[in-house]
Chain A
Amino acid sequence: MPEFTKPFDSKWQAAVLLLPTFVVLIAFLYYPGLETFRLSLQQTILLGAQKSFVGLENYRTLATSAAYHKSFAISVAFAAVVVVGTLAVSLFVSYLLFQVDVGASTYLIAAIWPYALPTAVAASVLLFLLHPSLGIITHYLELLTGLSLDWFTNGPQAFVIVAVVAIWKQLGYNIIFMVAALNNIPGTLTESAQLDGVGHLKMLYKVYVPLMSPTLVFLVIIDTIYAFFATFPLVDLMTSGGPDGATNLLIFKLYRDAFEFSNLGLASAESVVLFAVVAILMYVQLRISESRAHYGG
C-alpha cells in the first residue's frame, strides 16, 4: 500500500466514482453469471418460452452424453497442443530476440504483430491458404512431405490445422511476455555460465527457463484460457466443429446448443462447466504467484 494518507474522505463521492463500474459489473457480469447457475437447473422448451425446474438433470445429461465427453476431451487435448506449441515456438523466437545484437526493436515488432491479429482474420486467411485443394501452402506441404492433406474430411488433420492457426495468433502475446522476462534476468546471473562456455541450448534450459518460470506459468494459464474461450471463430469459420466432431470444442458446442438448438438449460450447464475451468485455472495461478511472493522464488 502507498505510504500516504488518503486525501479524500467523502464517502458519497467515492460511491459516485465507483457507481458506473459497479452498475456495469453487476448488470452485465454478476447478474448473468449467477443466472447461468439458475438456468442450468431448468429445462427450456418452445424456444425458451416455457421453463421448468429440473434440478441437476442438465448436468446428468452432460455427464452421460458421449458427444459432450468427446467435446470435453477434444478441448483438453486442444488446449494442451496449443499451450505446448505456443510456448515452444515463442520461446525459440524470444530467445533469438534476446540474443540479437542489432535491430532488436525492429525484429520485436515484426515478431509480436500477431497480438493484433483478429482470430477471425487468422481463420479466414489460413482456411484459404491451407485449403485442401486450393491452398498454396497445402500444395507445397504435400509436395514436401508426400502426405495427402484432406482436413475437410480427416478429423485429426482438422484438429491439427485449427491448433496451428490458434498457435499462430497467440505467438505475439507470448513473445511480448517472454522477451520482457528474459530482459529482466540480471546479466550477472548468466555471465558466469557464459564464461564457463555453456552452450546455447543448455543455457536456455538450465538458466533462462528456470529464471523465467513465473512468466511461463502465467502464460500457460493465459494460453489455456485462450484455447478454451477465444477459439470460437476458428471453429466457426474453418470447420464448424467437424469433420465428425473432431474440432467440436466446448465453446462451439455451447454456442450450438444455446443458439441453434435453443437448449438454454443445457447450454447454461455447459457454461457452468466452463466457469469451473476458468476458476480452477485462476486459482492455480493465484496460488503459484502467492507462493512466489512469499518465498521470493
Chain B
Amino acid sequence: MATRTNPDSALAGLLPEGVDTERVLIHGGLIFSILLMGLPLILALIMSTQNTSEVYQVTNVGVGSQGLSNYETALTQYNFGQYIINSIVMSAIIVVGKVALSLFAALALVYYKLPYERAIFMFILLTLLLPVPVRIVPLFDLMSRLGWGNTIMAITGPYIASATAVFLFRQHFMAIPASLVENAHLDGVGPLTFLWEVLIPMSKGMIAGVSVITFIYSWNQYLWPLIIMTDQSKQVVQVGLRFIQGAAQSGLTQWGLIMAGAIIALLPPLVVLIVMHRPLLETLAIQQK
C-alpha cells in the first residue's frame, strides 16, 4: 500500500524527522488493539499464580507467591487432569471421525455416478439448520434410550458427521484437475487406492484445516456435555470450569485457582491455532463460499 504522510497530524511534530507518521499510527493502533484483546489473558495468567489473599488485593498485578501450585491443585484436586484427558479424547474422536466420514461422503459425491446427487448433497447441507439447541430435548431422550448417557459416544456421536466438512472436501475435490482423475480412471484405479494415494495427499492442507476447525469447535462444546454427562469424572474441561467456580477457602473464592483452570482449558486450542494457523486460514477462505 502506498503510504502518505499527513503533515497536519499532531504526532508529526513529536517524531524525529524521517519517521512516517502514518506508519507509527498504524503500528501503534495495532499494538494497542492487540494488547487490549490480550490484556484479560495476561492478567489471568498473572493472577493464576496468586493465592487468595493476593487476589483480594485488587490492584496487585505482581506475580504471586503460588508459582504453578494453583495449576497443580486444579489438575489434581479439582480433576482438571481428568477433564483435560476427557476433552482430548472427545476432540480427537470427533476430528478423526468427522474427517474420515466426510472424506468418504465427498468421495461418493464427487467421483461416483449417483442418482439424485444434488438431493443427497442438499440433504447433508440442510443439517446446518439443526444446531444442538434445536434438537436438544429429543437428543437427550434418544441418548437415554440408547443407554449412552455418560459415555464417550454421547458427546462424540452427534458431532461426527458434518455438512461443513463434506462441503469443504467436495469443493476441494472438484478443484482437482480433471486429467488427474481421468488418468486414474484410464488405469482402472480403485476408489480406496484413489482416495489414499491421490485425494488425501492432494488434500493435506484442507484436511489439516478441517481438523483444526473441528478441534477448536469440539473443545469449545459446553451445553451438550453439561446435560448428557452427569458423572463428573467423565466431564470435559469446559464444564470443569463450572465446577471449579465453587472452589472456596474459608469463604473466599479461590480466583487464582479458577484462573489456572481457565488457562489450562485454553492452552490446547490456542497452541493448535498458533501452530496450524496457515492451513486454518486457507480452509476458512474456502468456507465462506
A and B touch in the complex (CB under 8 A): yes
**Total A residues in contact with B, Cβ cutoff 8 Å:** 101
A120 touching B222, Cβ below 8 Å: yes
Tell me whether A274 and B273 are in contact in the complex, defined as CB-CB below 8 angstroms, given that A6-B112, A180-B284 are known contacts: no
The answer for the CA separation of A133 and B55 in the assembled complex, in Å, is 11
Tell me whether A17 and B105 are in contact in the complex, defined as CB-CB below 8 angstroms, given that A7-B184, A97-B30, A232-B223 are known contacts: yes
Tell me whether A20 and B222 are in contact in the complex, defined as CB-CB below 8 angstroms, given that A35-B138, A100-B27 are known contacts: no
A24 touching B160, Cβ below 8 Å: yes
Is B120 positioned at the interface, with any CB of A under 8 Å from its CB? yes
Stretch of A79-87, A109-117, A154-162 contacting B (4+ beta carbons < 8 Å) = A109-117
Smallest Cβ distance from A150 to chain B, in angstroms? 15
Name the B residues within 8 Å of A18 (CB-CB). 104-105, 108-109, 120
The answer for the CA separation of A20 and B112 in the assembled complex, in Å, is 17
Tell me whether A274 and B265 are in contact in the complex, defined as CB-CB below 8 angstroms, given that A21-B166, A111-B33, A111-B34 are known contacts: no
Tell me whether A114 and B101 are in contact in the complex, defined as CB-CB below 8 angstroms, given that A134-B55, A215-B288 are known contacts: no
Smallest Cβ distance from A201 to chain B, in angstroms? 12
Stretch of B10-18, B65-73, B123-131, B200-208 contacting A (4+ beta carbons < 8 Å) = B123-131
Tell me whether A128 and B258 are in contact in the complex, defined as CB-CB below 8 angstroms, given that A7-B184, A7-B194, A36-B138 are known contacts: yes
Tell me whether A116 and B273 are in contact in the complex, defined as CB-CB below 8 angstroms, given that A31-B138, A32-B139, A168-B37 are known contacts: yes
Is B75 positioned at the interface, with any CB of A under 8 Å from its CB? no
Name the B residues within 8 Å of A258 (CB-CB). 136-137, 140
Name the A residues within 8 Å of B129 (CB-CB). 33, 275, 278-279, 282
Is A88 positioned at the interface, with any CB of B under 8 Å from its CB? no
Is B279 positioned at the interface, with any CB of A under 8 Å from its CB? no
Task: Provide 12 A-B residue pairs closer than 8 Å at the C-beta atoms, listed in order of the A residue.
Answer: A13-B191, A24-B158, A24-B161, A98-B1, A118-B219, A124-B258, A125-B259, A215-B288, A229-B133, A237-B245, A267-B136, A272-B134
A4 touching B178, Cβ below 8 Å: yes
Name the A residues within 8 Å of B34 (CB-CB). 93, 107, 110-111
**Total B residues in contact with A, Cβ cutoff 8 Å:** 101
Among the listed A4, A21, A36, A124, which residue makes an inter-chain contact with B182, where contact means beta carbons less than 8 Å apart? A4
B174 touching A2, Cβ below 8 Å: yes
The answer for the CA separation of A1 and B109 in the assembled complex, in Å, is 11
A118 touching B59, Cβ below 8 Å: no
Name the B residues within 8 Å of A70 (CB-CB). none
Tell me whether A128 and B44 are in contact in the complex, defined as CB-CB below 8 angstroms, given that A17-B108, A120-B222 are known contacts: yes
CB-nearest residue of chain A relative to B6?
A199
Is B26 positioned at the interface, with any CB of A under 8 Å from its CB? yes
A176 touching B58, Cβ below 8 Å: no
Name the B residues within 8 Å of A28 (CB-CB). 139, 142, 157-158, 161
Is B241 positioned at the interface, with any CB of A under 8 Å from its CB? yes
CB-nearest residue of chain B relative to A103?
B27
Q: Of B112, B133, B270, which is in contact with the most chain A CB atoms at under 10 Å from its CB?
A: B133
Per-residue CB contact flags for chain A residues 126-167 toward chain B (1 = under 8 Å, else 0) read 101101011111010000000000000000000000000000
Is B7 positioned at the interface, with any CB of A under 8 Å from its CB? no
Per-residue CB contact flags for chain B residues 242-268 toward chain A (1 = under 8 Å, else 0) read 100100000000010011011001100
The answer for the CA separation of A13 and B194 in the assembled complex, in Å, is 14
The answer for the CA separation of A124 and B40 in the assembled complex, in Å, is 11
